[in-house]
Amino acid sequence: MAGAKSGVHVSQLKPIVVSDNLIKGNKFIKWDDDSIIGTPVTLKVDPKGYIMFWKDQNKEMDCLEISMIKDTRTGKYARSPKEGKLRDSCTMGARDVALEDKTVSICYGTDHISVQWINFTCNSKECAMEWAECVLEYSRSPLSNNANALTYLEKTHVKISSVLNAEGKISVKNVLKTFAQQREDRKRVEKALEAAGLPHGKNDCINPNKFTFNDMYNVYRHLTIRSDIDQIFDKIGAKKRPYLTLEQFMELINKTQRDPRLNEVLYPYMSQSQVQEIIDKFEFNRSMAQKGHISRDGFLRYLMSDENNLIPDERLDLSMDMNRPLSHYFINSSHNTYLTENQLTGKSSVEMYRQVLLSGCRCIELDCWDGKGADEEPMITHGYTMCTEISFKEVIEAIAESAFKTSEYPVILSFENHCTLKQQAKMAAYCRSIFGDMLVTEPLEGYPLKPDSSLPSPEMLKRKILVKNKKKHKVSVVLFKVVLPHLALIRVSAYEETGRMIGHRILPIEGLRPGYRHIPLRNALNQPLNLPTLFVHLSVKDYVPDAFEDFAAALANPIAYQSMLEKHSKQLEVLMEDFDVESNNAQAGVQDDNVETSTSIPPSNFTKKRTDSLMSKTDSVVSASSTEGKNGLNRKGSKHAVLSQQESTGSALSQSSSTGSTPAGATHQDVTKILSGTESSAQLSTASFLGTTKLANPEMSAAISLEELKQQRPFLKYRLKMKKEIEKLQKKHQKAKQNMQDVHRTIEQKLLVSHFKAVRSMEKKHRKILKKAGRNGSLENLQPSLDQQLNQLKDAQKRERAEMKRIHSEDLIELSQSHFQLELDSVRALDKPMYDLMDQILQTSLDDRLEMLRDIHEDEVDLLKKRLAQQNREEIKALQKKHKDKQELSRVKRENQHKHITMAVAEREKLKGLLEKRVTEVKENHEAVKKTLAEERQKRNEDLQQDYEDKCLKIEQEYREWYRWKSMEILSTLSIADSVDDLTSDDESTTQLLSVKPL
């Protein structure tokens, strides 16, 4: 279970330990197929086993990520220089040792076809062997290829700091190239370098001794701007503080990051001391760590570290039981293994067998044909096509060399053998000589190839090659048991806006840990990528079928469950007491009514039962697990789930034909005579057969209706999901509108306060002027002008507030209309998969219906054959009794046989015509439903658009009216105090306007 730590496991999970020789490096001559002469280099591997890098005589450096390496070869299978000059320049060491034995050929790439090669030649066979074996081992490390996000960041740091320029420094150009491909992205990287205090000009260089991993982490932090981490950090409890307390961090680890299915006794919760150890490990601020606090950076380091791996290490190890019979396992298999392209004109390649085996495939295909050359060597190709040919012998050599590099479990060769006996003998000789002891030529002791015997286990067949070859006489092996491994997987992918895939990851469901996790992505060949990572929040729980929900609840919380039972029991007692009182007051007439009611079924209930039955059938179409109906056919394993409501009745009426009984129209006495043998069935006309066939029922061509489509469980489930999405969006919009209202109210309050102060200031000034004027005796002349000045100020303020109301109303109109547009776009986006789902259900219904009609037709053809054969036999018996002359009897038999054949052909043609008629009707009916669905889809789009336009117009009209009313009210307001009191009523009125019915 995810989150549990395994006690005992296979010991193949070992961290990479790089050999001292590879760390110190060796002298090699590097070359590839395009080289003119070899280049002397010093080849090294970093101490962590992340990259191999080399420096030439000009101090220029380059590297190759070890995780990108697909294969390493030395000796016979290493690549060899073809040009004489190149070969001479690659000569090193003893002349008596073959150049191939001193060469390490490294195959790398991101797919099986476009592989690339780089070759290194050294001075000894032992050195080449060590490099080939070690580098391949490092590239296959499960721990390294499933590392955490922090390790991949460290790998990028090692790659950058190991590849230096001629001056021994890190080129900023190299850093930019590592992080970004586009020009805009390069500018972001330059800013991140600058923010981290590092040289950032494209012609600048960085001192590798001053470029620590902590510097690399700071560049990453400035480059990514992890706002998602900040939100989680605040949500957990940090809020305005720059840290989480030990208690908050411990609660996250024990509740969110812990698998809730784990047993608390076997896997106890983390204690404070254990959580403190994690804080000490990832919090670099010592004073903060000593207080039991962890900062945002420390929290991010923890989330990216091996302490928070998505999949526990033990799940990467081999933990399956490999001692069961071989037939109990799913086997990773390949079809047309030799092809690099399509199977009509594609090129065949020996290398494909190596690449497929290296990728983990354990069953490969060899299409063997006679060679056409003088040597008559068997070939492998796709027969009767324009595909190229490859040598069978070279393929066998490639398989022998690559079969067990990835896995020691057996390899199965599936021969599609088209060769003559002579060339088959050559094939057998090649297999024996090249495979040697790896080839299984006889059954293992105790495992004979008999029907009642089991096959050997994969463990017993380690490093063995099995040949599966078709023969004329082959005994079938019956498998009584198949053990399914844990096959449940989930695939997550990330794409750019252009549609290019950034990376993906395929993960075992059973091994996932819950909580906040980083998912390092991989390329199309499943090789790890260093930087692309998804950050997710996972929730896990046990699946409990509906039938066991109460039982699971009782186990999870027995006290609460017992309390619920007691409460339910008390409620039931009260209900029974009320029922007893009513029963005691009831009279006999009531009892009669009860009897009548119990013996009759209301039509509405009957209809509901039929609808429920139909629902259960149509549901199974979408879930791809159809259930056979009560009157359904069971021929060749076919099952039909989508039936019309009338079909059950039709099937019941025609059931006699499907069971081989008498045709419709035969009386009870006829049936008795036929069964007793006193009367020939020939006396009943076969012409009545068409009247009894199920295909004669017009209801067989009925299509699933649009209403039935909309009652399908997947459709209803999606509609519920769609409703929740829209409600969520509307709540978000409502909150945004409320926020805008709050902002508007604050602005108006500030404006009113400033207006109030301006009026008070002017009044105070006027009082001083009037006081001074009173002393001079000019008060009467001055008072009117001062009043006019004050009124002008108030009028200007009212106009200013009215204008603000207008601006605010326009803002709210624009916001509301933008929300309506977003809701419209969201509904349309959600509508597309909904209607696609309905199309899918409709198509499945059509396919199922057509299959059902064909099966009915085949069954009734068989029934017709049996009936006509029985009729013919009885007629022959009657003729034998009637005609004693042999010649006459022979003539009459021929005539009867001819009549019988003519009748059979005619009846078959009638049945076929009826089938074709029903098929045509079914298709026409489904097309009609499909057309109706398309029309409804178009109408819904039009209605949504019209609804959107109506809402926009309505909100605009109402706001305009509201603004005119508020403007008049403002202009007629007597005082600023009245305006302040009026703010509350404004909020209530705008809230009413904003509550427009959503889409």
Residue positions annotated with a catalytic role: 335, 382
Helix, coil or strand: residue 908: helix
The one-character DSSP state at 408 is -
Task: Give the H or E element holding residue 143.
Answer: helix 142-145
* Number of residues written out for the chain: 999
The one-character DSSP state at 512 is P
∠ CA(163), CA(119), CA(136), 5° rounding? Answer: 80
Instruction: Give CA–CA dist 234/229, Å, rounded.
Output: 9
Q: By C-alpha distance, which of 934, 995, 986 is closest to 962?
A: 986
Burial letters for 283-316: b for 16+ Cβ neighbours within 10 Å, e otherwise?
Answer: beeeebbeebbbbbbbbbbbbbbebbbbbbebbb
Give the CA distances from residue 417 to residues 420, 424, 468, in Å, rounded to whole numbers and listed in that order: 9, 8, 10
**Cβ atoms of 686 and 871 closer than 8 Å:** yes
Instruction: Give CA–CA dist 636/620, Å, rounded.
Output: 19
Helix, coil or strand: residue 64: strand
C-alpha 887: how far from chain center: 77
The DSSP secondary structure of 523-570, one letter per residue, reads -TTSPEEEEEEEEEEE-------GGGHHHHHHHH-HHHHHHHHHHHHH
**Cβ atoms of 708 and 614 closer than 8 Å:** yes
What the block records as the tokens of 89 is 């320049």
What the block records as the tokens of 320 is 């399956």
Q: Is the dihedral of CA 501, 507, 509, 512 positive or negative?
A: negative
Helix, coil or strand: residue 636: coil
Instruction: Give CA–CA dist 855/179, Å, rounded.
Output: 61
Instruction: Give CA–CA dist 214/196, Å, rounded.
Output: 10
275, HSE (Cβ side, Cα atoms, 13 Å): 21
Instruction: Give CA–CA dist 27/132, Å, rounded.
Output: 15
Largest CA distance in the chain: 163
- 577 labelled as ligand-binding? no
Task: Give the H or E element holding residue 56.
Answer: strand 51-56
Instruction: Give CA–CA dist 215/212, Å, rounded.
Output: 5
Q: At what angle do helices 149-162 and 296-304 cross, to 10 degrees?
A: 90
**Scanning the structure block, which residue is given the tokens 């790896």?**
438
Helix ranges, 704-778 (H): 706-709, 713-776
Helix ranges, 599-646 (H): 603-622
Report helix, strand and coil shares of the chain as percent, to nearest 5. Answer: 55, 10, 30
Spell out where 25-121 has E strands.
Answer: 26-31, 39-45, 51-56, 61-65, 69-73, 103-108, 116-121
Instruction: Give CA–CA dist 567/574, Å, rounded.
Output: 11
- 365 labelled as ligand-binding? yes
Start-to-end CA distance of the chain, whole Å, equals 45
Cβ contacts of 966 within 8 Å, gap of 6 or more: 802, 805, 986
CB atoms within 10 A of CB 180: 16
What the block records as the tokens of 881 is 């009794």
CB atoms within 10 A of CB 223: 19
What the block records as the tokens of 744 is 């508007």
∠ CA(561), CA(566), CA(568), 5° rounding? Answer: 95
**Cβ atoms of 327 and 479 closer than 8 Å:** yes
C-alpha 214: how far from chain center: 36
* Residue set of the binding site: 336, 365, 367, 416
* Residue set of the binding site for Ca(2+): 336, 365, 367, 416
